[in-house]
Amino acid sequence: MVQSGVPLCNTCGEQVGLNDNGEVFVACHECNFPICKDCFEHELNEDHRVCMKCGTPYEERTKKEEEEEDFHEIEVHENQSTMASEISNSQDVGLHARHVSSVSTVDSEVHEESGKSFWKNRVESWKGKDKKNKKKKAAPKVENEASVPPEQQMEETRHTEASAAPLSVIIPMSKSKIAPYRTVIIMRLIILGLFFHYRVTNPVDSAFPLWLTSIICEIWFAFSWVLDQFPKWFPVNRQTFIDNLSARFEREGETNELAAVDFFVSTVDPLKEPPLITANTVLSILAVDYPVDKVSCYVSDDGAAMLTFESLVETADFARKWVPFCKKFSIEPRAPEYYFSQKIDYLKDKVQPSFVKERRAMKRDYDEYKVRVNALVAKAQKTPEEGWTMKDGTPWPGNNSRDHPGMIQVFLGHTGARDIEGNELPRLVYVSREKRPGYQHHKKAGAENALVRGSAVLTNAPFILNLDCDHYVNNSKAVREAMCFLMDPEVGRDVCYVQFPQRFDGIDRSDRYANRNTVFFDVNMKGLDGIQGPVYVGTGCVFNRQALYGYSPPSMPSIPRSSCCCCPSKKSTTDGVYRNAKREELEAAIYNLKEIDNYDDNERSMLISQMSFEKTFGLSTVFIESTLMENGGVPESADPSMLIKEAIHVISCGYEEKTEWGKEIGWIYGSVTEDILTGFKMQCRGWKSIYCMPLRPAFKGSAPINLSDRLHQVLRWALGSVEIFLSRHCPLWYGFAGGRLKWLQRMAYINTIVYPFTSLPLIAYCCLPAICLLTGKFIIPTLSNVASLLFLGLFLSIIITSVLELRWSGVSIEDLWRNEQFWVIGGVSAHLFAVFQGFLKMLAGVDTNFTVTAKAAEDSEFGELYLVKWTTLLIPPTTLIIINMVGVVAGFSDALNGGYESWGPLFGKVFFAFWVIFHLYPFLKGLMGRQNRTPTIVVLWAVLLASVFSLIWVKINPFVNEVDSETISETCIAIDC
């Protein structure tokens, strides 16, 4: 019987077993690398006395054995060239990394009878040699300390002080704010328990179906509240120190040590995502306050549109003027459209005499640039029959957006054009991945993964910042804010990404449809930051590239890649446990191969194939070597003249076949909300994320303010959550084997996937008031004094919880109310449709294709806000409003006929009906439009439904009491008629 919690041996695949004390056997006490006792003794007998993972000598060896191992290492070092030549001579077939099948002819030759490969022996000796070399290099440094001049010692002291200064601090919530908040949550939980005890033990026999329905709905609402509330138990704030970052990594007279960043911008349809908006995002990136040689901007054109390419050509030319202007005068924001549209006094803090003149000139240049881009858009409205042609007369390769080769074009950068002042500009790269019929391209997630591979070949920055095409850089120091966490050796080691909140332009002041989503970004995300970190929300996020490659955090050993608690496979477990160890071995082997005189690419390719890295990352030796470079940079072995060709290869549509892309590494496939799934997989491996909220918002974007567009956006998010719920990555059961996802964090992820199912009880609960008014029945019996106190305590606890939440988060009461309203609007429409579509996709294979939400190129006084676009999503809320209004009218009519005694029960029913109407009021207002006009179809629906429900009510409970024939006869006899 397999013992739980005992790891598997790296060599033989069996359980490690227990030692004499009954504890799990541990060979290396440094890294706890799993190896069983039999294999460990075999290693000692074979004179392998160092840990296979970290290279630390085993404690059991003696001094004499150490001397023998040193002698053995010297022999290995002297014979490295001989071994390399023997291995290369054994490859008569011309082995290459892209032909995995030919590796099998070498496997049998390089493996020993014990199952331990020849390469592993070489790697062990190399790692031991590296460790000794490091010790030898460190020794002279100590001896020469006394000879350092006093001036240099003072400079080193200042550098030491700068290195000791914190880059960020955590500011916990004050006890005066958080203690009452937690106390009220516990009290509310107790009151909920007493409330449900009363409700269950006091059924309403006269309306049992209605009572039972209400009980089920209320229990689900309480469950949803627990999932949403308790992950906010540890909210924190963070503060960054950008000056300390500069003092530590940007010392005067020394090489700039700030880490490089690759920006990813994704776009699909230039007619729905105007090129001018994408161009503003690109310009804000190129002008960011960061060393130009550390910034590269990759624009993914997943629609292969020539319009996007030509607009980038114009953008690159305009950037030569715009970037130096931004940096000279330190303007904010650095997206020209939004900078010039600011209604502020731009002369206020500008002391340079030339500023006014240069600003006016730049405004003219930008207007001319806009004319050129808009002319391209107008030209692209009608596609020529023969397709688009480029300036040299050749056809545009992307004329067929579903069947075209991969395209890469590098603008600006190290070898490109410089700005008008002769300074270097950041690199700008256009990327359109290959598309072919018959391949699954995985939409945005697939495009992002293609960018990961292409950027790794060309620049390979250690950090990646991804933005939607309509999210521009609003704070030029945003990258530095993120680096305060990621480059901190104490904080950044286990951080997979730094998430910034989303902020939006062009939203009406009242935020009718909760487009700003303030409650989520300022309350929920702060709470998660105190646990294991915020969830990834798809944009405005800076990634650690190594985390995207599926590695575990450096501070902990690897865990199985497929850590589903239901059916973990042995193969996936053994592969996942040792991927980090394989990476260290491969890194050491490739590094030492460079010291061999007759080293060639074939030997490197064979080594990579032997380590099975091609099965994980694909058939590209350049890309695989780039994954080993934690600090970034292009591998030295890569030929610069072949990088573009290699980048084209890694973005081909067949590159991901039979690899782990989209399964364990990169953006994860299987849901239209790939962001939630990707962040969840990282945190299941033990990574942490950080929420960064600078005073000036880092990024700003646009949101669909039209009611129909907003509902379709929410429908897409909710459908993605349902897909995750129905997949193997469901947080209810995925990721338990490693035990690295904290329980409150898991509770938050469960909340992100089950919230669409709240639509079913919400629809039922919103119908109950109308049904009660139409039938004259009620879901609550006559209240006693104790029951009245319970209801009063429940309502007060809800109100106090909200007030205290507003107190520590800084969210306004209006934002909270708008969020509550749209929770009902979206719940009874978009979430309901998402549940049905998700089950249709799972059971019947019916997939729903979503169109890209259109972005407005200019803000035209909220014109979209008042535009009514009819969609089926509007039917359920419209129906609920009508039946509740009909119910209220029927209830008052019944009370007028019933006399004084009927008014008491009426108020409870009307209260719940008005609760529904008030929550749906923004929907009703949006349905009326600016001129208070509704579409004809809405009027017809209203009249039809009102008539049907009125007739039903009359049939069930007419105005006059029914009088049977017996009553009439008795009356007649009494009066002697």
The binding site for Mn(2+) consists of 444, 468
How many angstroms separate the CA atoms of 226 and 189, rounded? 9
Q: Which strand ranges, in their side-by-side order, compose the sheet holding 503-505?
A: 472-473, 699-702, 503-505
Residue 266: strand pairing partners: 300, 468
> How many residues are present in the chain?
977
**Which residues are annotated binding-site positions for UDP-alpha-D-glucose?**
266, 272-273, 302, 443
- What is 423-464 written as a DSSP string? ----EEEEEE--B-TT----HHHHHHHHHHHHHHHHT--SEE
**Start-to-end C-alpha separation, the chain:** 94
**Which residues are annotated binding-site positions?**
266, 272-273, 302, 443-444, 468
DSSP code of 139?
Answer: H
Task: State the sign of the Cα–Cα–Cα–Cα dihedral 934, 940, 943, 949.
Answer: negative
3-state secondary structure of 353: coil
The contacts of residue 961 (CB under 8 Å, 6+ apart) are: none
How many angstroms separate the CA atoms of 852 and 270, rounded? 10
User: 223: how many CB neighbours lie within 10 A of its CB?
Assistant: 14
The encoded tokens of residue 44 equal 């000692």
The contacts of residue 52 (CB under 8 Å, 6+ apart) are: 10, 33, 35, 120, 124, 581, 585
The encoded tokens of residue 578 equal 């040792």
Among the listed residues 830, 954, 848, 972, the one whose alpha carbon sits nearest the alpha carbon of residue 897: 954
3-state secondary structure of 554: coil
How many angstroms separate the CA atoms of 432 and 647, rounded? 11
Give the type of residue at 355.
F
How many angstroms separate the CA atoms of 551 and 548, rounded? 8
User: 629: how many CB neighbours lie within 10 A of its CB?
Assistant: 17
How many angstroms separate the CA atoms of 588 and 591, rounded? 5
HSE, side-chain direction, 13 A CA sphere, residue 405: 9
How many angstroms separate the CA atoms of 808 and 181, rounded? 9
Tokens 């019933």 correspond to 898
Q: How far is CA 808 from the centre of its chain?
A: 25
Query: Beta-strand (E) ranges in 474-565?
Result: 495-499, 503-505, 541-544
User: 386: how many CB neighbours lie within 10 A of its CB?
Assistant: 8
Helices (H), 111-144: 118-143
302 in catalytic set: yes
Residue among 262, 470, 575, 675 flagged as catalytic: 675
How many angstroms separate the CA atoms of 718 and 710, rounded? 12
- What is 243-297 written as a DSSP string? HHHHHHH--TTS---PPPEEEEEEES-TTTS-HHHHHHHHHHHHT-SS-GGGEEE
675 in catalytic set: yes
User: 576: how many CB neighbours lie within 10 A of its CB?
Assistant: 23
Residue 408: strand pairing partners: 431
Among the listed residues 476, 651, 475, 450, the one whose alpha carbon sits nearest the alpha carbon of residue 464: 450
**In contact, 756 and 698? CB cutoff 8 Å:** no
**In contact, 28 and 56? CB cutoff 8 Å:** yes
Query: Beta-strand (E) ranges in 626-693?
Result: 688-691
Which are the catalytic amino acids? 302, 675
